[in-house]
Amino acid sequence: MEHQRVFETGGRVPQEHIPLSQEKDTTMRHIELSPPSLDTAEKDALLRVIDDNWLAMGKRVRTLEEAFASLHGIGHGVALNSCTAALHLSLAAHGIGPGDEVLLPSLSFVATANAAIYVGARPVFVDVEDELVPHMSLALARQAITPRTRAIITMHYAGYLMDMRPWRELADEHNLVLIEDAAHAAGLEGAGRHSHASAFSFYSNKNMTTGEGGMLLVHDAELEARLRLMRSHGMTSTTITRDQGHAFGYDVVEAGFNYRLDELRAAIGLEQLARLAERNARRVELTGLYRRHLASVAGLGVPFSPAWTQCGHIMPVLLPEGADRLQTMMRLREQGVQSSVHYRPIHTFTQFAGTAADQPVLPMTEAFGRRTLTLPLHPGLSDDDVAYVVEALTNALG
Ligand SMILES: Cc1ncc(COP(=O)(O)O)c(C=O)c1O
């Protein structure tokens, strides 16, 4: 099959990203893909946690939940130790299970599909609209609905907002649970508004980070209460409430998980949240600058349009047809520029290959997956760095 040839693991396909050389040439500029933005605020916050002598889930986690939910204009936040956990719980709490089908994009990180596998459901991959709008296609999702379909997971690729209203209409029409994989969308205005649950990631390369971590936003207090139980072994009280003397015993009412966040991560998260709007604004500004410089690179495509609502998570481009991506990435590295691929489509991984008869037909996802390359984007880049990256890309494409 076409995608098997292209995405074979036999060396032609780059790994998630090509890191810069371990031994840095100090005379050359080095531009990393997406390092975290950290400073003394995070260091001081960590010291305060140590001084307080309470590391497990506590008051900072709660404060982070409230502040993050409020920033997105959504009623309830449940902090978790990853977005993967958030995706898992969002399906599990809605009773999605064996025999059910979950519609989701193949153009995503593998966690989106793994969440369906965890609950015993079947991920059904849906193609994207086209190469320049690599969001899951609403029309194709509608066609993929069967009597077994129970949920849809959409993903705001690269931090560009999907219009979720028609998705909610589709979900309501068919009585489906609508979940947003909002891993790329921290601080993105409108994310989470129209779905039943939205899952955010605080992984190290995200717009705000806690190292590992995540948040699930929901509109419904009952659902929030259930998620809190599921996050912590199905226990009816947490260590902190017991410790503070608010609860003397606890019951276990279901087989929950340990998906808790801790105070160290929450302390970092609160500092990151305080700077999120400012840093996202800089990311969006840098994206605009990239677009202006990239306009002069022949044959190159830049997904989405400049006016699209976004939070500047990553900077994917479409290499000119026929360009050798791995060679381009190597040549970028020689010039000190780290690059990556977001994403190799999930259905091309061995784990999801299934039988030949099962192979989904996703031509747009595969075309995008073949041509896409992610350039460095983070608030620490200077305007001049962006010009340098585009010059390096031009050289690399030779
Ligand atoms: C689109 C998408 N979904 C889910 C995840 C999983 O997030 P986490 O690493 O917080 O579990 C990621 C993280 O990279 C992601 O990019």
Q: Is the CB of residue 61 below 6 angstroms from any atom belonging to ligand 1?
A: no
Q: How far is ligand 1, taken at its centre, from the CA of residue 227, in Å?
A: 19
Q: Is the CB of residue 108 below 6 angstroms from any atom belonging to ligand 1?
A: yes
Exposure string over 339-349, b if 16+ CB within 10 A, otherwise e: bbbbbbbbbbe
> Ligand 1, closest atom to CA 87?
4
Task: Please report, as a single letter, which amino acid is at residue 394.
Answer: T
> Ligand 1, closest atom to CA 86?
11
pLDDT at residue 6 in the model: 41
Q: How far is ligand 1, taken at its centre, from the CA of residue 10, in Å?
A: 25
pLDDT at residue 239 in the model: 62
pLDDT at residue 3 in the model: 43
pLDDT at residue 8 in the model: 39
Q: Check if the beta carbon of residue 68 is closer than 8 Å to that of residue 92.
A: no
On average, the pLDDT of the chain sits at 93
Q: How far is ligand 1, taken at its centre, from the CA of residue 109, in Å?
A: 6
Q: Is the CB of residue 157 below 6 angstroms from any atom belonging to ligand 1?
A: no
Domains of the chain: 2-35+276-397 (3.90.1150.10), 40-270 (3.40.640.10)
Spans of the chain, pLDDT less than 70? 1-25, 239-240, 242-248, 355-357
Report which of 9, 124, 28, 42 is spatially closest to residue 338, judged by C-alpha positions.
Answer: 28
Q: Is the CB of residue 215 below 6 angstroms from any atom belonging to ligand 1?
A: no
CA 105 from centroid of its chain's CA atoms? 12
Q: Is the CB of residue 201 below 6 angstroms from any atom belonging to ligand 1?
A: yes
| Test site for ligand 1: of 114, 136, 157, 201, most ligand atoms within 8 A of the Cβ | 201
Residue 88 burial (10 A CB sphere; 0-12, 13-18, 19+): buried
Q: How far is ligand 1, taken at its centre, from the CA of residue 27, in Å?
A: 35
Cα separation values, 188 from 7, 209, 276, Å? 32, 15, 10
pLDDT at residue 237 in the model: 81
Q: Is the CB of residue 181 below 6 angstroms from any atom belonging to ligand 1?
A: yes
Angle subtended by helix axes 59-71 and 263-294, to nearest 10: 30
pLDDT at residue 19 in the model: 63
pTM above 0.85, yes or no: yes
